[in-house]
Structure 1
Amino acid sequence: MIPLSVLDLVPVREGSGISEALAEAGKLAATAEEAGYKRYWVAEHHATAGVAGGAVSVVLAHIGHCTSTIRIGAGGIMLPNHNPFVIAEQFGTLDALFPGRVDLGLGRAPGAAGIVARALRKDLHRAAEQFPQDVLELRALMRGDLELPITATPGLGAQVEMWMLGSSLFGAQLAAQLGLPYAFASHFAPDHLDAALETYRSNFRPSASLEKPHVMAAMTVIAAESDAEAELVASSQDQSFVRLRSGDPGKLPPPVKDYKANLPVSAQAMLERLSVARTVGSPATVREGIARFVERTRADELILSGATYDPAARQHSLKLVMEALG
């Protein structure tokens, strides 16, 4: 069976708050570990009312203490928002706390509106242009393979598994050039999926840490006892996505029956675009959807997204998916 992992944005539900979201993330990670998932990744977002995972390294420390064996990591750190030295210290600390369990996925997109860029005191456009150099510096700070004027402590010698993230061809090209494993964000940006994977595989150069291309593709996967129940549960994430793309983001809303059927055509098309990397339904439906996606992508791993208003529904979904494939 292809290895499965979990991508969590640490969603904040309507009628709830940050503390509850973080507590539920710990429970979800423990469920994923018990069910046999390989990795539990948290993604960086800022100034978003419905996302509690902005301080990724701090959240990962919490997740690490709620689990004991599952790999924990960033899916990812948007490096233009930071600097390599601080990230080396943060993830070096995580490696010291949870040896052999830490992943560091790096993305180039700042993922921050102008007001956030000002709050970060960063020229994010210029920082994004420096991304390849910053990745090399970060790797050197951990490996010590380049002579640098400063030592990251913690950081130097940390056994962190570094990944390149992407939703376009840029990340695929850089991952191939540096010989890094590559994770593609097909769950929300599927347009360049096939081209990016082909670019990565055809241009891959072996490195000290990776001999051949290794791809992890992201899917939205929500399982329930029936197709109808799963679509109802998934309507919370559908609402959240439509609101985000419409410029009105907020906390994760409760499910709405027949939500997609009552949307304007433009919003339906917005959701249909994601169907390439989405499977929602009964265990049988999900099994078939995952099989089609794996056949298309030839992915070495999958990472599953899919927020639910009721945290227990996602825990149940993770169990059903693993049982369906196992």
Structure 2
Amino acid sequence: MTALSILDLVPINAGSTLAQTYANSVKLAQHVEQCGFRRYWLAEHHNMPGIGSSSTTLLMSHLAAHTKSIRLGSGGIMLPNHAPLLIAEQFGTLETLYPGRIDLGVGRAPGADQATTRALRRSLDAHPNQFPNDVLEILNYFEGKGHQGVQAVPGAGQNIPVWILGSSTYGASLAAELGLPYAFASHFAPRMIEEALSVYRKKFKPSRHLSKPYVMAGINVFAADTRAEAEMIASSHRKWVAGVHTGQPTLLPAPEEGFMERISPNVRRSLEQELTFTAIGTTDDVRSGLVQFLEFTKADELMIDARIYDPQARCRSYQLAAESIADFLS
């Protein structure tokens, strides 16, 4: 059986407000909870027009307060931006407030450009072992061992799952060595997925955290009652990604019919490569795409990303995605 989860970058629609954006995420979290999704993760990004999830832990708390059972997590917290003690304390606080519902996914990229990274007050010249050391420091805090005589209060002794996020063999090897679950960012970085998952599974060492490998893989899904409608709602996501590729990031744009036919061949190739793992269409189309992706990755869990302009169409898309593979879901 497979679990189904959601990644929300909290897209800020053109013509909308941040307050409405956050209200939309609350409604989406409540909706997918009812649809049987296991997790609702938020991603840390900074200085990015159109993404409202920079204060990841604050939004996690807000969404947890407005839901009942779905797990809230980070997909991820970018450790180069933070002192491990602060992350342990923040997630220890969340776990205390919402016991058994909090996940900590961590990544080694800053999630920002160099100027923004400097503004975050962390060094650009990190030691090569800084990320693994930061992960181990957080694990020690949660296990109550502390670090150099310092304890995480709250955080010490709490059972908070720590996930390694990645898009290469680096994160796969680290997750395997530490015996942690691994989430691959195939929804936007598909190139190394086969090699990374193979490395993770072959090198995995059982730990007190996990007895066998556990893989989550990302995929974009745009589902609607007709293929034409699905293509239309997917155009906002494609337009936003195209803006990033051309150095012109924007708020999430309104959908545009025939968008892919009007962009340059180079941008189109870049888009198609980045969004290789994307399921678009009716329930039958999406089921076919998801099943094919599951057979390819043998993932234990799928995490869906979909930046859709219309909040109602977004809720509907996730509902149809869940319905399309209901017989696969645990």
TM-score by length of 2: 0.97
Aligned residue for 1:266, secondary structure, equals helix
1:6 is the counterpart of 2:6: yes
Contact (CA 8 Å) 1:11, 1:307: kept in 2 or not? yes
Counterpart code for 1:139: L
**How far apart are 1:129 and its partner, in Å?**
4.4
CA displacement at 1:10 relative to structure 2: 0.4
CA distance in 2, matches of 1:60, 1:4: 18
Structure 1 match to 2:208: 208
Q: Compared with structure 1, are the counterparts of its residues 98 and 233 closer, same or farther at alpha carbon in structure 2 (3 Å cutoff)? A: same
Is residue 73–residue 104 contact of structure 1 (8 Å, CA) maintained in 2?
yes
Deviation at 1:123, TM superposition (A): 1.0
Query: In structure 2, the residue corresponding to 1:125 is in which secondary structure?
Result: coil
- Equivalent residues in 2 for 1:224-243, closer than 5 Å: 224-243=224-243
Shift of 1:159: 1.9
Return the letter of the residue paired with 2:61: A
Task: Determine the structure 1 residue equivalent to 2:132.
Answer: 132
What's 2:25 paired with? 25
**1:47-84: CA deviation from partner (whole Å, max 9, x where unpaired):** 11211100000000011011010010000000011010
8 Å CA contact 2:235, 2:256 repeated in 1: yes
**CA shift for structure 1 position 182:** 0.2
Instruction: Tell me the residue number matched to 2:99.
Output: 99
C-alpha deviation, 1:117, in angstroms: 1.6
Tell me if the contact between 1:219 and 1:303 (Cα under 8 Å) persists in the aligned partners: yes
Residue 79 of structure 2: aligned partner: 79
User: Which structure dedicates a bigger proportion of its chain to helix?
Assistant: 1
Name the aligned partner's letter for residue 69 of structure 1: S
Give the Cα separation in 2 of the matches to 1:35 and 1:271: 30
Gaps of 5+ in 1: none
| Match in the other structure for 1:222 | 222
- Partner SS state of residue 177, structure 1: helix
User: Residue 168 of structure 1 corresponds to which residue in structure 2?
Assistant: 168
Q: Which residue of 2 aligns with 1:282?
A: 282
TM-score normalised according to structure 1 size:
0.98
**1:121 CA displacement:** 1.5
> Aligned residue for 1:180?
180
Alpha-carbon offset, residue 274 of structure 1: 3.2
CA distance in 1, matches of 2:111, 2:161: 23
Which residue number corresponds to residue 324 of structure 2? Answer: 324
What is the RMSD of the two structures over their aligned residues, measured on CA atoms?
1.1
Matched, 1:198 2:186: no
Secondary structure at 2:44's aligned position in 1?
A: coil
In the TM superposition, what is the alpha-carbon distance from 1:289 to its structure 2 partner? 0.2
In structure 2, runs of 5+ residues without a counterpart are none
Which has the larger displacement, 155-164 or 171-180?
155-164
Q: Which secondary structure state, in structure 1, belongs to the residue aligned with residue 155 of structure 2?
A: coil
* Structure 1 residue matching 2:217: 3-state secondary structure: strand
Deviation at 1:147, TM superposition (A): 5.8
Q: Write the distance in 1 (CA, Å) between the matches of 2:267 and 2:31.
A: 33
Q: SS of 1:7's equivalent?
A: strand
Letter paired with 2:167? S
Aligned residue pair count: 326
Contact 2:215 2:299 in 1 (8 A): yes
1:238 CA displacement? 0.1
Question: Is 1:240–1:253's contact at 8 Å kept on the other side of the alignment?
Answer: yes
> Which whole-Å deviations, capped at 9, do the CAs of 1:112-154 have from their partners, x for residues lacking one?
1121122111113316640000100011011124664111111
Identity %: 45
Between 185-194 and 139-148, the greater mean CA deviation after superposition: 139-148
Query: Following the alignment from structure 1 to structure 2, what is the Cα–Cα distance between the partners of residues 23 and 125?
Result: 38
2:220 counterpart SS class: strand
Structure 1 segment 262-281 matched on structure 2, within 5 A: 262-281=262-281
Specify the alignment match of 2:64 in structure 1: 64
| Other-structure match for 1:254 | 254
Q: How does 1:106-121 map to 2 (within 5 A)?
A: 106-121=106-121
Is the 2:163–2:181 Cα contact (8 Å) retained in structure 1? yes
Helix, strand or coil at the partner of 2:236:
helix
Structure-1 separation of matches of 2:183 and 2:125: 23
Q: Secondary structure at 1:190's aligned position in 2?
A: coil
Distance 1:116 1:142 in 2: 29
Moved over 3 A (4+): 145-148
